[in-house]
Structures are given as structure tokens and as C-alpha cells.
Amino acid sequence: MAAAIHDVHADQIDEHAARLAYHYREAGDLRADGPAYVWSMRAGRRAGQLLAYEEAEDQYRAAARIAEEDGDVSRRITAELELSEVLTRSGRPNTGHEIASAAAAEASVWKCRSTRSLPPSLRPTVPARRHSGCRRRC
């Protein structure tokens, strides 16, 4: 079904991102680097641009689940940070901030530089420490 959507709507593919995400998830290709994750993220971004925050939330949660089940921490954190932004814009800033803070804290454990691009208010408040393979305190 996803291939048919690609063929028929190739010139307006982003408008059909949610349908593609759904069909790829139903097909069972639930790898974090697979089409279900990619299209769930695209569908979330598209829905967020259209102010369809519930749809965006559903898509980002689906992407986070795919990454979680596949053991891809980086992609799960990416989906959670996108989700936090949508929650904040949809009028749930506390929930968005909690998700972003948890994702940032986990990112700081996995990759020292991953939280530096976050606004100071979203950076983890855990004490500085040396991570394995890191020469400086993060």
C-alpha cells in the first residue's frame, strides 16, 4: 500500500506522510532506521506545521516507540525532543519540558556534546562528571 501511495502521490508526498507512516508501521518494518520511523517523524513535522498537534503527538510517540524497541537511543531522544516541542506549542509546556529534560539528561549520558545545542533551560541539571571516553567534564 505504501508503494502505491508513493507512486500516485509522488508530487505531494508530504501531504500523505501520516498514511505512509501508518502503512509502514502496519507492514511491520519497525527498525529505527527504517521507513516506519522516518515517515512517522515526517508526519509529525507536517502535522505540527499544520497545527494538528494531536496528530503530531501521535506520530512522534510512534517514532519514539519504534526507536525504543529497536534500541536506538539517539533516534528515540530525537523523537522525544520533537514531541516536547509539539506539547509545548499545544498548551502543555510542563509536560513538554519534562520530556525534553529527561531526553536531554539521557543524551548527556550517551553523548557528551548532544545537549550543548539545547537552550539552557532544557539542559540537564545533573552534576558534571566524566563520561567514559570523555576527557573533560560535561
Are 106 and 113 contacting, i.e. CB atoms less than 8 angstroms apart?
A: no
Tell me, yes or no, whether 32 lies in a domain: yes
Tell me, yes or no, whether 63 lies in a domain: yes
Are 3 and 18 contacting, i.e. CB atoms less than 8 angstroms apart?
A: no
The pLDDT of residue 9: 44
Tell me, yes or no, whether 46 lies in a domain: yes
- The span from the CA of 3 to the CA of 74, in Å, is 28
pLDDT in tens, 49-105: 999 999 999 999 999 999 999 988 889 999 999 999 999 999 999 999 999 999 888
Q: How many distinct structural domains can be found in the chain?
A: 1
- Top mean pLDDT of 32-36, 121-125, 131-135 is at 32-36
The pLDDT of residue 20: 83
pTM greater than 0.85 (yes/no): no
Tell me, yes or no, whether 104 lies in a domain: yes
| Of the listed ranges 19-33, 51-65, 85-99, 120-134, the one predicted with least confidence | 120-134
The pLDDT of residue 114: 47
Q: What is the mean pLDDT of the chain?
A: 78
Tell me, yes or no, whether 117 lies in a domain: yes
Tell me the CATH number at 56.
1.25.40.10
Torsion-angle region of residue 51: left (phi > 0), alpha (psi -120 to 50) or beta? left
**Enclosing domain of residue 79:** 13-122
